[in-house]
Chains A and B, each alone.
Chain A
Amino acid sequence: MSRFLVHRFLQAAALVAIMSFACYALIGLMPGDPIDLLLSSDPRLTPEDVARLKALHGLDRPLVERYLAWLEKAVHGEFGYSRLYAQPAAGVLWPRLVNTAALMGTTLVLAAGLALPIGVAAAARAGTRFDRIVNALCFAGISVPTFWLALILILVFAVSLGWLPAAGIPMARDPGVVDRLRHLVLPVATLALATLGGHVRYVRAAMVEALHQDFIRTAHAKGLAPRRVLWRHALRNALLPYVTVLALDCGTLVSGALVTETMFGYPGMGKLIFDAVMGNDYNLALLALLLVTALTVACNLAADLVYAALDPRIRQR
C-alpha cells in the first residue's frame, strides 16, 4: 500500500510540475499584455511609461526565462506577489479560498446528500412515473443555464418575496453565522440545483446496473429484506463510479463557480482565477491553478483509497 501511495504521489508531483509550465505558457501566449490593455484605456501613457512598466513587471523578458525564475522561487515556497492586487499571491488567495470552500463544500454535500436517496429511489422504481418525473427534472436542472437560474432565484426570493438577500456575502462588519448562512442560501441553491441533476443521473444509472447483477438476485433468493438488498448490497457497488464523480468534482472546491460568483457578487476563486488569467497575473493565476490541480489529484487518490474500502476485491489486488 505504501509503495502504491509513493508511486501515486510521485505521479501527482510530476503532473503538477507539467501543469505549472502549461499554465504559464498558456497565459503567456495570450495576445497582448496588461500594459497593452492599460495603454488602450489611458491615452496619457507615454512610450516611456509603457517601456518602464513592461520592464518593471518583467514583461519584456522571454517567457521561458520568466517561468524558470518563477519556478526557482516556487520550489522554495515563494509564490511571489500578485501583480493585480500588489499583495502576496497566497495572501490574496486565502480569503477567496475560504469563501469558495464554504460555497462549493455546502453545494457538494447538499447535491450528494440529495442525489443518493433520489437516485436510489428512481433506480428502485425504474420505468415508473416517479422515475420519469425524476429524469425529466434532472434534465431540466442540467439544461437550465446557471446565470438564468440565479437570476430567477434572485427575482423570486429577493425581489418579489424579499425573503433572502440577493447578494452572496453580508455587508455587515461582523456578520453572525445566521446572516452568513442566509446570504449563502441562494448561491448554494443555484449551484445545487444546477449540479443535482447530473449527480442523480450518475447514482441512478449505477444503481440500475447494480440491481441487475447476479449477486442481487442471490441476495433476494437468500430471503434478505428488499431495503437491505437495496441499501447494503446494491448501493455499495453503485457507489464506486459515483465516488469517481465526487472525486472529480472536488476540484471545484477550490476552482469555484465563475458564473454564480459573478451573479451574486460573491468573492470566490472562480472570479479570482478568471481575473488573474485575463490580467496576466502569473503568480496569482499559477498558484490558484496549481491548487486546483493538486486538490483534484489528491481527491482522486482519496477516491482510490475509498474504492479499496468499498470493494474488498480491490484491497486484495
Chain B
Amino acid sequence: MRRRRPILASLCLLLALALVRPGPAAAAKDELVIGITQFPSTLHPNIDSMMAKSYVLGMTRRPFTAYDRKWQLVCMLCVTLPTIENGLARPVDLPDGRRGVEVTYTIQPGARWGDGVPVTTKDVVFTWEIGRHPMSGVTSAEGYRRITRIDVKDERTFTVHVDRLTYEFAASGSFQLVPEHLEREAFADPAQYRFRTKFDTDPTNPGLHFGPYRIVEVASGSHIVLERNSTWYGPPPAFRRIVVRAIENTAALEANLLSGAIDYIAGELGLSLEQAMAFETRHRDRFAVAYKPGLVYEHIDLNLDNPILKDRRVREALLLAIDREKLTQSLFGGRQPVARGAIHPLDWIHADDLPAYAYDARRAAALLDEAGWTRQGGGTRLNAAGEKLTFELMTTAGNRTRELVQQVLQSQWRQVGIEVRLRNEPPRVFFGETVTKRRFPAMAMFAWLSAPESVPRTTLHSQSIPRADNNFSGQNSTGYANPEMDRLIEAIEVELDRDRRRALWHALQHLYAQDLPVLPLFFRSDSFILPRWLSGIEPTGHQYPTTLWVENWRDARP
C-alpha cells in the first residue's frame, strides 16, 4: 500500500501540470472572440426581441433596410431605397378613403442562403405569411398586418401594398426574411411553428443564413460560433471565425478580456459607463474605449393623476431644481448628454431651440411658492392645509447607476424643500406591474430605447394610456393627454415632405417641453471596449447593431 503512494502522488502532479499550464497566446488574427452580457433565448429573427439575438443575427443576415451610423435609412438587402421621387414608392387612394402606398423592392443580386439556394420573392411571400398569422408567435406583427398584398414581379422584385401611407414607408427593418425552402414544413401547423422552426431546432443549418457569417455551433447559455459564409454576396469579412461569448457578470466579463479569453466587449451589451471609464483609466495602453451616446433616453415619468403633479408649475420646479449638467459631469464624466426632450440631438428632427430648463433653484422655489407650497425655515414645503410637499421616486432595484442618480436628485430636491422618498423594485415587478399598470404614485425613473425619427405614439398619444379596459396596453404611463399632441403625432405619421415634417416635429418637441409630462434626464452612452488592433467597428447609437457592418471589421496590425 505504501509503495503506491509515490505513484499516486506522481499521477496527481502530472494531472496538475497538464491542467495548470499557461493559456493559449492571444487569439489568432483570423478569429475574434466577442464578449456580451446576454445569451439569446431564440434565434428566430421574428420571434421575441432581444438585443443579443439582433447582435448575433446582424452577422448572419441583413434586413431590407436599416439606419446606418449617421442615422440615415439605407438599403441592405434591397438594391435601391424606394422613394416617391424614384418611383419605387407610389401613394394610392384606398377604397375606404384612406391613403395607402405601394413600395417596390429588388433583392440584392447574388443573395443566396448558406446552402446555395437563392434568396427570392418566394421567401418574401412566405415570411409575410408567417408574420401575419396570429398563431405563428411572431412578436411584432403590426408591420406584416399592414401589408394587404404582395405582387411578385420576378424572382427578385416585388411590390408590397400597405394599407397606410406614412413617412416611414421605405423602412422595412422588421421584415426579416425566413427561408421558404427550409421553413415551409415547420409552418404546416402554424400554432406549432415556434416550436418547430429550424432556427431553434437546427440553428447551424447553413440554409438559415445569408449574411457574411453563418452559425456553426450554439452552446446554449455559453457561446455561439460563426464562420464565414461562402455564399455571402458582399465584400468578404476579414475574420474567418467569430465567437460570441455570453458572460452575464460584467466584472467577470472584464476579467475575461484582460486574461485574453475574449478580445472585445461589445458596447450594445457590455460594461456600464462607469465600469468602462474605470477600465479606460487602468488599461488605456492595451484597449481603446469608444463612447457612443445613443437613443436610450433616461427620464422620469410623472404620474399626472397625482393631484400635486397635475400643477405644471410644480413639474417645472422639479426640473429646475435639479442640476443635470453637474450630475452627468460628476457621475459620467460628461459622456452622457443632458436631454432636453425625448428626441436625441443627433436626430435630424431635433429642435435646437428648446428651453434648456437649466438649474435654477431660485426660480424653482418661486414657482413652488406661487403654486401654494411655502417653506418655513429649511424644512419641507407645506400647502395651506399643512400637507407636506412629498413624492415617491421609484426605479429598478439593483441598477447602481440609477440608484446613484436617485440619491443626487433626492438631495437636490431637498434643497428647495421637496421631500422625496426612494422606493425601488426588481425590474420584473417595476416594469411588469408598476410602470405598465401606472401603479407608481408620483415618479418612475427608467429609459426608453427608440429608433431615429421614431414617432412617440405609444408613449405620448392619449390612446396609449394603459388602462384596465385596454388590458394595460400602451406605454403612456404618465397618463398624458393633450389633443394637440395627438394631432401632431397623427400629422407627423402621414407627412411625407421632410421640411413640413420637421416643422411638425419641432412643434411636438416644444409642446413636450411646455407640458412636461416627463422630466428629461440624459441620453445613455454605449461603451465599446476595443483592443487597439481591432478596427472598423462603428457604433451606431441606435437599435441596429454594429454587427450589420461586420464585414468592415479587421485586424489593423500590419
CB within 8 Å of B: which residues of A?
Answer: 30-33, 36-54, 56, 81, 84-88, 92, 95-96, 147, 150-151, 154-155, 157-159, 161-167, 169, 171, 173, 178, 181-182, 185, 262-268, 271-272, 275, 278-279
Q: Is B80 an interface residue (CB 8 A)?
A: no
Quick check: A86 and B194 within 8 Å, CB to CB? yes
Chain B residues near A84 (CB-CB < 8 A):
41-42
Quick check: A46 and B473 within 8 Å, CB to CB? yes
Quick check: A166 and B33 within 8 Å, CB to CB? no
List CB contacts (< 8 Å) of B448-472 with chain A: 448-450, 454, 458-459, 470-472
What residue of chain B has the Cβ atom nearest to residue A174's Cβ? B217
Compute how far the CA of A86 lies from the CA of B249 in the bound complex, rounded to whole angstroms.
25
Quick check: A36 and B432 within 8 Å, CB to CB? yes
Quick check: B225 and A173 within 8 Å, CB to CB? yes
What residue of chain B has the Cβ atom nearest to residue A161's Cβ? B22
Q: Which of B141, B259, B261 has the most CB of A within 10 A?
A: B259
Quick check: B47 and A86 within 8 Å, CB to CB? yes
Chain B residues near A42 (CB-CB < 8 A):
49, 139-140
Quick check: B245 and A159 within 8 Å, CB to CB? no
Interchain residue pairs A-B with the least CB separation, the first 4: A32-B432, A267-B221, A47-B473, A40-B431
Quick check: B49 and A151 within 8 Å, CB to CB? no
Quick check: B19 and A158 within 8 Å, CB to CB? no
Quick check: A31 and B428 within 8 Å, CB to CB? yes
Q: Which of B21, B139, B194, B429 has the most CB of A within 10 A?
A: B139
Quick check: B436 and A262 within 8 Å, CB to CB? no
Quick check: A181 and B247 within 8 Å, CB to CB? no
Compute how far the CA of A154 lies from the CA of B49 in the bound complex, rounded to whole angstroms.
33
Fill in one digit per residue for B36-78: 1 if any A CB lies within 8 Å of its CB, else 0.
0000011010011100000000000000000000000000000
Contact of B220 among A46, A96, A166, A263 (CB under 8 A): A96
Q: Is B197 an interface residue (CB 8 A)?
A: yes
List CB contacts (< 8 Å) of B231-267 with chain A: 243, 245-249, 251-252, 255-256, 258-261
Q: Is B200 an interface residue (CB 8 A)?
A: yes
Quick check: A162 and B259 within 8 Å, CB to CB? yes
What residue of chain B has the Cβ atom nearest to residue A150's Cβ? B252
Contact of A267 among B222, B256, B435, B450 (CB under 8 A): B222
Fill in one digit per residue for B16-34: 1 if any A CB lies within 8 Å of its CB, else 0.
0011111100000000010
| Apart from A86-B44, A87-B201, 20 more pairs, CB < 8 Å | A32-B436, A36-B432, A36-B433, A39-B473, A40-B432, A41-B431, A48-B145, A96-B221, A154-B255, A158-B23, A159-B259, A162-B259, A167-B222, A173-B216, A185-B19, A262-B252, A263-B251, A265-B223, A266-B222, A278-B428
Contact of B252 among A37, A45, A151 (CB under 8 A): A151
Chain A residues near B255 (CB-CB < 8 A):
151, 154-155, 158-159, 166
Q: Is B474 an interface residue (CB 8 A)?
A: yes
Quick check: A164 and B23 within 8 Å, CB to CB? yes
Chain A residues near B474 (CB-CB < 8 A):
47
Q: Is B134 an interface residue (CB 8 A)?
A: yes
What residue of chain B has the Cβ atom nearest to residue A53's Cβ? B139
What residue of chain A has the Cβ atom nearest to residue B19's Cβ? A182
Q: Which of A54, A171, A181 has the most CB of B within 10 A?
A: A171
Compute how far the CA of A30 lies from the CA of B427 in the bound complex, rounded to whole angstroms.
12
Compute how far the CA of A261 lies from the CA of B246 in the bound complex, rounded to whole angstroms.
11
Quick check: B458 and A43 within 8 Å, CB to CB? yes
Quick check: B249 and A262 within 8 Å, CB to CB? yes
Compute how far the CA of A140 lies from the CA of B463 in the bound complex, rounded to whole angstroms.
59
A selection of 11 A-B contacts at a CB cut-off of 8 Å is A30-B428, A32-B428, A32-B436, A38-B49, A40-B431, A41-B449, A44-B174, A52-B134, A86-B137, A154-B256, A158-B261
What residue of chain B has the Cβ atom nearest to residue A51's Cβ? B471
Chain B residues near A278 (CB-CB < 8 A):
428
Quick check: A263 and B140 within 8 Å, CB to CB? no
Quick check: A178 and B18 within 8 Å, CB to CB? yes
Chain A residues near B217 (CB-CB < 8 A):
173
What residue of chain B has the Cβ atom nearest to residue A266's Cβ? B222
Q: How far is the CB of A87 from chain B (nearest CB, A)?
A: 6
Compute how far the CA of A84 lies from the CA of B41 in the bound complex, rounded to whole angstroms.
6
Q: Is B219 an interface residue (CB 8 A)?
A: yes
Compute how far the CA of A251 lies from the CA of B487 in the bound complex, rounded to whole angstroms.
60
Chain B residues near A158 (CB-CB < 8 A):
23, 255-256, 259, 261
Q: Is B142 an interface residue (CB 8 A)?
A: yes
Known: A39-B475, A51-B471, A96-B220. A265 touches B139 (CB 8 A): no
What residue of chain A has the Cβ atom nearest to residue B261's Cβ? A166
Chain B residues near A161 (CB-CB < 8 A):
22
Chain B residues near A86 (CB-CB < 8 A):
41-42, 44, 47, 137, 194-195, 197, 200
Contact of A32 among B194, B429, B448 (CB under 8 A): B429
Contact of A265 among B44, B248, B436 (CB under 8 A): B248
Q: How far is the CB of A257 from chain B (nearest CB, A)?
A: 13
Chain B residues near A181 (CB-CB < 8 A):
18-19
Chain A residues near B18 (CB-CB < 8 A):
178, 181-182
Fill in one digit per residue for B398-409: 1 if any A CB lies within 8 Å of its CB, else 0.
000000000000
Quick check: A163 and B20 within 8 Å, CB to CB? yes
Q: How far is the CB of B266 from chain A (nearest CB, A)?
A: 14
Compute how far the CA of A38 lies from the CA of B41 in the bound complex, rounded to whole angstroms.
13
Quick check: A167 and B49 within 8 Å, CB to CB? no
Chain B residues near A157 (CB-CB < 8 A):
20
Q: How far is the CB of B154 from chain A (nearest CB, A)?
A: 31
Quick check: B220 and A37 within 8 Å, CB to CB? no
Quick check: A265 and B252 within 8 Å, CB to CB? yes
Chain B residues near A163 (CB-CB < 8 A):
20-23
Compute how far the CA of A39 lies from the CA of B219 in the bound complex, rounded to whole angstroms.
28
Quick check: B49 and A265 within 8 Å, CB to CB? no
Quick check: B259 and A154 within 8 Å, CB to CB? yes
Quick check: B251 and A151 within 8 Å, CB to CB? yes
Q: Is B356 an interface residue (CB 8 A)?
A: no
Chain A residues near B216 (CB-CB < 8 A):
173
Chain B residues near A85 (CB-CB < 8 A):
41-42, 200, 220
Chain B residues near A81 (CB-CB < 8 A):
195
Chain A residues near B137 (CB-CB < 8 A):
53, 56, 86
Q: How far is the CB of A281 from chain B (nearest CB, A)?
A: 9
Chain A residues near B23 (CB-CB < 8 A):
158, 162-165
Compute how far the CA of A44 lies from the CA of B473 in the bound complex, rounded to whole angstroms.
11
Q: How far is the CB of B16 from chain A (nearest CB, A)?
A: 9
What residue of chain A has the Cβ atom nearest to residue B51's Cβ? A41
Q: How far is the CB of B285 from chain A (nearest CB, A)?
A: 15
